[in-house]
Amino acid sequence: MANTKWVYDFGGGASDGDASMKNLLGGKGANLAEMASLGLPVPPGFTITTALCTAYYDLGRKYPEELDAQLETSLKTLEAKAGKEFGSATNPLLVSVRSGARASMPGMMDTVLNLGLNDTTAEGLAQLSGDRRFAYDSYRRFIQMYSNVVLNITHDVFEDILEDFKDLQGYELDTDMQAEDWQEVIVKYKAAVVTHNNGKPFPEDPKDQLWGAIGAVFGSWMNDRAIFYRKHNDIPASWGTAVNVQSMVFGNMGDTSATGVAFTRDPGTGENLFYGEYLINAQGEDVVAGIRTPAPISKARAAEMGSDDAPLEVTMPDVYKQLTDVADKLEKHYRDMQDIEFTVEEGKLYMLQTRNGKRTAQAALAMAVEMCKEGLITENEAVLRLEPAQLDQLLHPMIDQDAKAAATAEGRVFVKGLPASPGAAIGKIVFDSDEAADAAAKGEDVILIRIETSPEDIHGMHASKAIVTARGGMTSHAAVVARGMGRPCVCGAGSLRINKELGEVSVAGETLKRGDIVTVDGATGEVFKGRVAMIEPDLSGDFAHIMEWADKARTLSVRTNAETPADVEVAKNFGAEGIGLCRTEHMFFDADRIPVVRAMILASSEKGRKEALEKLLPMQRSDFEAIFRIMGDKPCNIRLLDPPLHEFMPHSDEEMADVAKGSGVSIEVLTHRASELHESNPMLGHRGCRLGVTYPEIYEMQARAIFEAAVNVAKETGVAPVPEVMIPLVATKAEVALMKARIVKMAEAVLPKSDIKIDYLVGTMIELPRAALRAADIAQEAEFFSFGTNDLTQTTLGISRDDAARFLGDYEKQGIYEKDPFVTLDIEGVGELVQMGTERGRSVKPDLKIGICGEHGGDPASIAFCHKLGMSYVSCSPYRVPVARLAAAHAALKA
Ligand code: PEP
Ligand code: MG
């Protein structure tokens, strides 16, 4: 460690780092260095590395020895660059201390501004700036922020002191406070610090302040909200955060100063329009915190929003011009939409941050396609710009315009705010994040309505279908976080009056109560009373372009798990290239079929069973015909019956009576038979191919239905269907051999009736550990494998898939499994069996067709793994097909 460089300088003409060093310097630090090197106006500073954060925790929250000397050197360099001195009575250097992880974690960690102020330097600042009020206002802000972040004293302590003081003076606003007033308040603040900090005074020495703030930022890497955010955004704890110490610039030095946030394109829609918000005479965090609602930057946007506030383009035209030039330069340099933070100090522009901007799925899509058309990025890069998980948002319903017009005409618009994050949602009103989380845990859809949100609300925002706030702009916490999560959000709905205690929210005399239903349209900023109908999304245009490029890039095929014609149709429209799993037992749940299925299961003789099967045959045949018709010449994998029997048992007397009526068997006999069939552990019981072993006639009927349907459809359409018959839950080669022989015999009896040649395959699921282990044997019989990773996870982990929800949450919380292994493949464990099965199967048949049809087939991380193993296809539920196509492309492009 002794030679490790822990501190990197930036700005003032020389930077140690650059944008490629994000892992070490964090996003903010790396980009500050890069911007400074590009010649942009960046206040100088230095970055303490993420590696130090890791070392700090490894050493039990202690710093490596050599940090002290390195920090001292960088501080000296900074003083020289800034032409100011830390702690000077006449020319004091003030700094900001901010976190900056590899991946942006907006608002999750701590920040301290105006650091370096004490009684002496505050007076120095007053002299230097010629503005005593500003100097002492900054000083009191610093005491409050530092005490909160570093000393853990709540804001209330300071706010109460200030309110009492103002009351006594008869002041209404903070702006009524004069420099002398702030000085008096500062004395009271410091006394309060002693009281709330175990008798210890506020640190006067700027160096002590600096170490305190650095410790707090590193400490905030492990605060609850940062941990929560990391978990939901797949950010490993081992990455750590960097700390950026930067010379302060002041956006709060009067009307020629300002601070703002801008996006080089619209992060909500993707439109190529410079977009941002600013506040005159405000300090850095004010825009993000949503304390005041900021004004738009450009005239165009102000007009579009009907804003009365003067845009920056009008109030500071030169700065605006300079800012748009910087934005252009940054976008061309980074070849992506940038999210920038800037401050104007007495008419001079400073850049405080740039990063690739967070965006909605809709915006990501629109920008990727447009940037590709502009020649800024390639098709493959465009594909990589859209996260597969994000795509989900585009595949979900939006508000139906006709229904909306009707709702508007009926006077059901409750309030209109800013369209902060698109998409629509319906739910019950809640006013509190804990309440939102509790309700969501019970399966309720809720809409969180808040004055504003803060990082403490993150779990409530996650639990809600949409978020509505009364305060804050398009770059407020609520807006940024909601967009990242893909939650519809309306913010800055200023006419909302929220009374959390009474559980009421009102607008102009109209009141809604906790639990009332509202519909939120994040695309327009409207909130409607009651429900407004939704429609399916549009999958043409940009969506179709990206999908076409993704299809060119991927090597994995994407199929679907579907059995009803409606689902098969949806999946085909979403681009499914075949059926990877048709669960035939699902076709038996129909009200008119289930009594026959039950009669078949409960039959005590082969004769009784055959009678029931005779009735089922035409039903199955017509099901398969419908599927073959839709899928044409695409492969259709049909799995023979695999029901854990308990799922089909009659539960009530009424159901039993139905079966008796249909089968002509008495209730007594049926009841006796049902008790005979009772299993203690049906998931490991008489299911899968074990049914086929005991009752050959069931699989024979199904095979007949499949092949007859294929013949009929071939005749009807002239296109030969491609059936793949799949045997479930095998453990041995012998099971496959036995089943396969019967299926082939049926095919040989039926298929010659077709004029067109019908090719078919007989293969098996690999969903038991033994099957994966003995895959080489099994491959001698099977013509394809499909990994049933639901059962394979269940049987490998020994965790019942039906009961896992009760305790897996605790496992995730305690980091035993990072993710639910039924959602994302447990690559180390279950994945090893999948890999072994694939390799062993292909050792016998190098071209063996191999797919996956467990739930993992629609999960991007699991798809990447399947790609790596060289599988032929993944199969997932219809709505996930586009996600899987994109994830397969990402896997190929990142390989
Ligand atoms: C599986 O086990 O992964 C599978 C696809 O089959 P099912 O979920 O029907 O048991
Ligand atoms: Mg299974």
Using a pLDDT cut of 70, give the percent of the chain over it: 98
Residue 494 is classified by DSSP as T
The closest ligand to the CA of 790 turns out to be 1
Give the residues surrounding ligand 1 with Cβ less than 6 Å away: 581, 583, 642, 767, 788-791, 853-854
Determine which one of 372, 459, 462, 477 is catalytic.
Answer: 477
Give start and end residues of each alpha helix (H) in 574-695.
594-602, 606-631, 653-663, 667-677, 689-694
Ligand 2 mean position to 866 CA, how many Å?
Answer: 18
Q: In whole angstroms, what is the distance from residue 454 CA to residue 689 CA?
A: 54
Atom number of ligand 1 nearest to Cα 642: 9
Of residues 610, 707, 713, 590, the one with CA closest to residue 663: 610
CA dist., res. 376 & res. 715, Å (int): 51
pLDDT band at 810 (very low <50, low <70, confident <90, very high): confident
Pocket test for ligand 1, best of 645, 727, 765, 833 (most atoms within 8 A of CB): 765
Using the predicted structure, report yes or no on whether residue 744 has a pLDDT greater than 80: yes
Mean pLDDT across the chain: 92
Q: Hey, whose CA ends up nearest to atom 1 of ligand 1?
A: 788
Asked if residue 476 lies in contact with residue 290, where contact means CB atoms within 8 angstroms, the answer is yes
Cβ atoms of 521 and 531 within 8 Å: the answer is no
Residue 367: which residues within 8 A CB-CB, separation 6 or more?
265, 270, 272, 337, 359, 385
Taking the centre of ligand 2 as the mean of its atom positions, its distance from the CA of residue 870, in whole angstroms, is 22
Strand partners, 506: 497, 511
Mutation test residue for ligand 1: of 767, 826, 876, the one with most atoms within 8 Å of CB:
767
Q: What is the CA(688)–ligand 2 centre distance, in A? A: 8
- Ligand 1: nearest atom to the Cα of 581: 5
Residue 665: what pLDDT?
82
Concerning whether 853 is annotated as a catalytic residue, the answer is: yes
Structure tokens at 109: 């960690």
The sign one gets for the Cα dihedral 604, 607, 610, 615 is: negative
How many angstroms separate the CA atoms of 325 and 848, rounded? 57
Q: Please name which ligand lies nearest the alpha carbon of 788.
A: 1
252-283 tens-digit pLDDT: 888 999 999 999 999 988 999 998 999 999 88
Written as six digits, the tokens of 434 are 């804990």
Name the DSSP letter for residue 111: E
Sequence-distant (6+) residues with CB within 8 A of 63 are 52, 55, 56
Which residue is closest in CA terms to ligand 1's atom 6?
Answer: 788
Fold observed for domain 396-535? Glucose Oxidase; domain 1 (3.50.30)
Span from the CA of 767 to the centroid of ligand 2 (angstroms) = 6
Q: How far apart are CA 426 and CA 412, in angstroms?
A: 14
Q: Residues 681-694: what's their mean pLDDT?
A: 92
Q: 670 C-alpha to center of ligand 2: Å? A: 28
Q: What is the pLDDT of residue 492?
A: 85
Ligand 1: which of 560, 581, 729, 822 to mutate, judged by most atoms within 8 Å of the beta carbon?
581
From the alpha carbon of 855, which atom of ligand 1 is closest? 3
Boundaries of every domain in the chain: 7-247, 258-359, 396-535, 554-585+617-638+682-894
In angstroms, rounded to a whole number, what is the distance separating the alpha carbons of residues 849 and 605? 38
Kindly state the average pLDDT of the residues 438-443: 88
Number of H helices, E strands in the chain: 36, 33
User: In 3-state terms, what secondary structure has residue 893?
Assistant: helix
Domain covering 554-585+617-638+682-894 assigned CATH 3.20.20.60 in the classification: yes
Atom of ligand 1 lying closest to residue 788 CA? 3
Q: Give distance in angstroms: CA of 887 to centre of ligand 2.
A: 23
576: which 2 tokens?
Answer: 């499914």
Of 781, 703, 692, 784, the residue nearest 747 (C-alpha): 703
pLDDT score at 599: 86
Instruction: For residue 791, give the ligand 1 atom closest to its CA.
Output: 2
Q: What is the pLDDT of residues 622-678, one digit of tens each?
A: 999 999 999 999 999 999 999 777 777 787 888 888 888 888 888 888 888 888 888
CA angle 774, 778, 784 (to 5 degrees): 125
Say how far apart CA 415 and CA 508 lie, in whole Å.
10
91, pLDDT greater than 70: yes
Most informative mutation of 790, 826, 855, 874 for ligand 1 (most atoms within 8 A of CB): 790
Query: Which phi and psi (to 5°) does residue 427 adopt?
Result: -175, 180
The string of pLDDT tens digits covering residues 749-795 is 999 999 999 999 999 999 999 999 999 999 999 999 999 999 999 99
Contact between residue 29 and residue 8 where contact means Cβ atoms under 8 Å apart: yes
Residue 281 and residue 138 in contact, taking contact as beta carbons nearer than 8 Å? no
Distance CA 510, CA 68 (A): 61
Of 53, 491, 582, 853, the catalytic one is: 853
Q: What type of residue is 786? A: S
Do residues 875 and 580 make contact, with C-beta atoms less than 8 angstroms apart? yes
Q: What topology is assigned to 258-359 in CATH?
A: D-amino Acid Aminotransferase; Chain A, domain 1 (3.30.470)
Q: Which two tokens stand for residue 713?
A: 């459809």
* Residue 778, amino acid: I
Ligand nearest to the backbone CA of 643:
1
Answer whether 834's CB lies under 8 Å from 867's CB.
no
> What is the model's pLDDT at position 14?
84
* Position 118 confidence tier, pLDDT thresholds 50, 70, 90: very high
The rounded Å distance from CA 790 to ligand 1 centre is: 5
Residue 803's pLDDT is: 79
Residue identifier of the C-alpha nearest atom 8 of ligand 1:
790
Residue 721 pLDDT class (50, 70, 90 cuts):
very high
Structure confidence at residue 817 as a pLDDT band (50, 70, 90): confident
Please state the CATH superfamily assignment of the domain spanning residues 7-247 in this structure.
ATP-grasp fold, A domain (3.30.1490.20)
Instruction: Give the pLDDT score at 394.
Output: 81
More confident residue, 519 or 237: 519
DSSP bridge pairs for 877: none
Please enumerate in sequence order all residues whose Cβ is within 8 A of that of 198, keeping only pairs 6 or more positions apart, or say none.
none
Closest C-alpha residue for ligand 1 atom 4: 788
- Could you identify the atom of ligand 1 that is nearest to the CA of residue 789? 3
Distance (Å) of CA 195 to CA 156, 201, 407:
14, 9, 56
Residue 291: pLDDT band by 50, 70, 90 thresholds? Answer: low
Residue 790 Cα: closest atom of ligand 1: 3
In terms of Cβ atoms closer than 10 Å to its own Cβ (0-12, 13-18, 19+), residue 61 is: exposed
What's the 386 CA to ligand 2 centre distance in angstroms?
Answer: 32
pLDDT of residue 397 exceeding 80, the answer is: no
Q: Judge whether 149 and 114 are in contact, CB under 8 Å.
A: no
* Alpha carbons 741 and 813: distance in angstroms, whole number: 49
Helix (H, G, I), strand (E, B) or coil at 770: helix
Per-residue pLDDT reduced to its tens digit, 550-566: 999 999 999 999 988 88
* pLDDT single digits (tens) 444-455: 999 999 998 877
Ligand nearest to the CA of 786: 1
Check if 477 is active-site. yes
